[in-house]
């Protein structure tokens, strides 16, 4: 009863979009448990390339075969279209990546296939739902937008429309990639130049990142910021290596979210480190906080405030 009320009363919920694969999977699973109903047959997912949509969907629907994902797996023939052609849907749940499939099939045919599956009481998870919506002419029962943050909404006849979500997440994803790239550059300086071991944990803030330490680091933050800025200013390329590593220039570096980065460090805007370690008395840890995209001074206590969220573009 409580879960049903939560679903029916939902306008929207907002979560930080984590950068590591495990954290993305876990968040996807938590959101499915909290907001997804067994009666939801049309699920829309919205987000740009590199937002982590495929990993997030795998967290929401463990075992679901994605027809196109970051591993380069392209299922052919497309199961959804195959079901329409044969007049028989062998599965209960289908996945479709609209941006990818539109290169092979006209949009109105993809929309008709989704409608036909829904008429047979099948569930369809539609990536890039905002692209299909004008042809489908019906909204999803639940929409998940993934940008700097994860937005969960259950639309009514009054909205929000998919474009409303797309306008937010497509604009904000650059800050998530910027923060993750700056975070890894800071980690590289800590490890390679200052001989400091990896931090004990990671956390999230708007337009920034948090590195957590069990003990207060004996590191000059001013010097760390200067060294990191010098590395960023070398305009180094960032490339995916494997599921646990990226390359920064010629250096291989361990990373849990290797696909969520900028292509070059020149794209990082206004990198700064907060010039104090923030102590968390609950976890008894110390936080080193970095920010990006903010060209003015901000108090450490304003980083996650609603007022800050309203004014940061």
Question: Could you tell me where the beta strands, DSSP code E, fall in the chain?
Answer: 12-16, 42-46, 93-97, 123-127, 142-146, 149-153, 201-205, 208-213, 238-242, 245-248, 251-254, 272-273, 278-280, 285-291
178-234 pLDDT, tens digit per residue, is: 999 999 999 999 999 998 876 778 888 889 999 999 999 999 999 999 999 999 999
Q: What residue ranges do the domains of the chain occupy? A: 11-160, 174-311
pLDDT tens, 249-261?
Answer: 999 999 988 989 9
Model pLDDT, residue 72: 60
Say which CATH topology domain 11-160 has.
Rossmann fold (3.40.50)
| Residues facing residue 240 across a β-bridge | 246
Rounded Cα–Cα distance for residues 60 and 171 (Å): 24
pLDDT bucket at 76, cuts 50 / 70 / 90: confident
Query: Do residues 127 and 60 make contact, with C-beta atoms less than 8 angstroms apart?
Result: no
Q: Which CATH class is domain 174-311?
A: alpha beta
The mean per-residue pLDDT over the stretch 38-66 comes to 94
């Amino acid at each position: 009863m409580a879960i049903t009320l939560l679903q029916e009363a939902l306008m929207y919920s907002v979560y930080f979009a984590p950068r590591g694969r495990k954290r993305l999977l876990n968040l996807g699973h938590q959101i499915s448990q909290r907001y997804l109903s067994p009666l939801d047959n049309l699920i829309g997912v919205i987000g740009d390339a590199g937002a982590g949509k495929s990993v997030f969907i795998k967290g929401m629907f463990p075992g679901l075969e994605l027809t196109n994902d970051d591993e380069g797996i392209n299922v052919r023939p497309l199961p959804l279209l195959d079901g329409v052609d044969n007049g028989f849907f062998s599965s209960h749940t289908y996945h479709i990546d609209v941006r990818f499939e539109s290169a092979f099939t006209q949009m109105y045919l993809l929309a008709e296939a989704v409608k036909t599956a829904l008429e047979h009481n099948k569930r369809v998870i539609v990536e890039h739902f905002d692209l299909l919506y004008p042809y489908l002419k019906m909204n999803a029962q639940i929409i998940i937008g993934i940008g700097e943050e994860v937005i969960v909404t259950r639309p009514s006849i009054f909205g929000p429309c998919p474009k409303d979500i797309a306008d937010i997440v497509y604009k904000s994803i650059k800050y998530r990639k910027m923060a993750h790239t700056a975070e890894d550059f800071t980690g590289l300086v800590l490890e390679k130049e200052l001989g400091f071991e990896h931090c004990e944990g990671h956390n999230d803030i708007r337009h920034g990142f948090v590195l957590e330490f069990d003990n207060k680091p004996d590191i000059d933050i001013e010097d760390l910021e200067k060294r990191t800025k010098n590395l960023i200013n070398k305009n180094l390329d960032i490339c995916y290596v494997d599921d646990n590593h990226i390359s920064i220039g010629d250096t291989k570096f361990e990373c849990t979210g290797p696909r969520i980065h900028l292509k070059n460090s020149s794209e990082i805007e206004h990198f700064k480190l907060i010039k104090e370690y923030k102590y968390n008395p609950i976890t008894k840890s110390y936080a080193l906080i970095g920010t990006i995209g903010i060209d003015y001074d901000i108090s450490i206590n304003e980083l996650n405030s609603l007022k800050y969220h309203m004014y940061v573009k």
